[in-house]
Chains A and B, each alone.
Chain A
């Protein structure tokens, strides 16, 4: 039976197969991409099924990812958090270095402007505990060549205070707003001398008072007050602050002005002590 089938139909089948192969090969060769008719037909039939399978596969993969990659994600999260913390620490150190850089540049400008100043850097290590005075302690003392009454400035040349007590390795300074402070001052705009000193009421608001302003002399808000250099303990031309208010003494005998210090006293960390300077007559 098989023999009969093959004898009758076999040759036909072989002939058709050969012809199909020939046709497929020829069309694959002639079309761009090299895809033959059969291949194109199969792909056309299989495409929708393939897309459906892909959607299902993605869904199951996401479920798998959620269930089995959670620990991996958690570890990655911890590692990233640690890296962020390191970067933040680096950023803080950089900011601190940037601030110090800025201070040192300003100090360089100050030294160029006042080449006669012999400066000693110091750090503010503590503030006075009293509510009735304004003092602070710095990290240098006699061992660094400091002496009593030497004045203290910021990197911008703003007057901060004066040394009132000195130890071997530390010194105590009174700020310019302390009620016991008195320094020769000058209204920079007019050159008129006066005395800048602490006043308790002004100190409570972080300011100091300009007293003994000669009669007829006027101050205006915003006037810059500098040191006059009189007394020879404080160099001339250091900025004390700016006038924010003015008035007449209760006795009526003289005028006064309230000065806001140029230095931000509550933000002091690094200061400079003027150990020596040229006295101007």
Chain B
């Protein structure tokens, strides 16, 4: 493992640190229509999209752990994000043409998948009404998509800009 490898690891670690600080301390204060954006999951999808399935999976694992710390949702994101990050890389490699529309499509798919899992426990175990839960999930996904757009270039940069 050469210097360049450790440099990449350091770059990804710093990227994740900045994302965690933003997710845990900054964006809880930026609420629109009662929802806060998902920053870390969007970055995990981006790293997978640009860096490939393996990178997406590994980054997704660490970012999932941090997400569960930030969201008190152990162990949902620890399981979900490595899978979503990996799938993001594989789908892009075999089915999508690299570019902004594919990236946004991938991000939206990942965000909706996360929302479905989050909705599930509320509908099944907490008797929440489907309409209220679905509305929150939709706003969360749309708000987070704005940050997917903002993280397009940083995700490409930290993933070594392969695609």
Chain A residues within 8 Å of B, Cβ to Cβ: 126-133, 135, 172, 179-180, 199-201, 204-205
Classify the interface of chain B: helix, strand, loop or mixed.
helix
Q: Mark B51-95, 1 if CB is under 8 A from A, else 0.
A: 000000000000000000011110000000000000000000000
User: B114 to chain A: closest CB distance in Å?
Assistant: 11
Identity of the chain A residue whose Cβ is nearest the Cβ of B143 in the assembled complex: A131
Decide: B24 and A131 in contact? CB cutoff 8 A: no
Question: Which of B24, B27, B132 is within 8 Å of A204, CB to CB?
Answer: B132
Q: Mark B133-163, 1 if CB is under 8 A from A, else 0.
A: 1011000100000000000000000000000
Question: Which of B71, B118, B129, B133 is within 8 Å of A128, CB to CB?
Answer: B71
Q: Which residues of B contact A201 (CB under 8 A)?
A: 128-129, 132
What are 9 contact pairs spanning A and B, CB under 8 A?
Answer: A128-B71, A130-B72, A131-B34, A131-B136, A132-B118, A132-B122, A179-B128, A200-B128, A201-B128
Decide: A199 and B72 in contact? CB cutoff 8 A: no
User: A168 to chain B: closest CB distance in Å?
Assistant: 17
- CA–CA, A126 to B29, complex, Å? 9
Identity of the chain B residue whose Cβ is nearest the Cβ of A180 in the assembled complex: B126
Decide: A129 and B27 in contact? CB cutoff 8 A: yes
Decide: A131 and B140 in contact? CB cutoff 8 A: yes
Decide: A130 and B122 in contact? CB cutoff 8 A: no
Question: Which of B28, B72, B118 is within 8 Å of A126, CB to CB?
Answer: B28
- CA–CA, A5 to B71, complex, Å? 124
- CA–CA, A205 to B135, complex, Å? 13
Question: Which of A133, A204, A205 is within 8 Å of B72, CB to CB?
Answer: A133
- CA–CA, A204 to B31, complex, Å? 12
- CA–CA, A128 to B129, complex, Å? 22
Q: Which residues of B contact A129 (CB under 8 A)?
A: 23-24, 27-28, 36, 70-71
User: A256 to chain B: closest CB distance in Å?
Assistant: 11
Identity of the chain B residue whose Cβ is nearest the Cβ of A205 in the assembled complex: B34
- Tell me if B35 counts as interface (CB < 8 A to partner A): yes
- CA–CA, A200 to B133, complex, Å? 8
Q: Which residues of B contact A131 (CB under 8 A)?
A: 34-36, 136, 140
- CA–CA, A130 to B71, complex, Å? 5
Q: Which residues of A contact B35 (CB under 8 A)?
A: 131
Question: Given A129-B24, A204-B136, does the pair A135, B128 have CB atoms closer than 8 Å?
Answer: no
- Tell me if B25 counts as interface (CB < 8 A to partner A): yes
Question: Given A179-B122, A200-B133, A204-B136, does the pair A128, B72 have CB atoms closer than 8 Å?
Answer: yes
Decide: B28 and A127 in contact? CB cutoff 8 A: yes
- CA–CA, A201 to B23, complex, Å? 24
Decide: A126 and B25 in contact? CB cutoff 8 A: yes
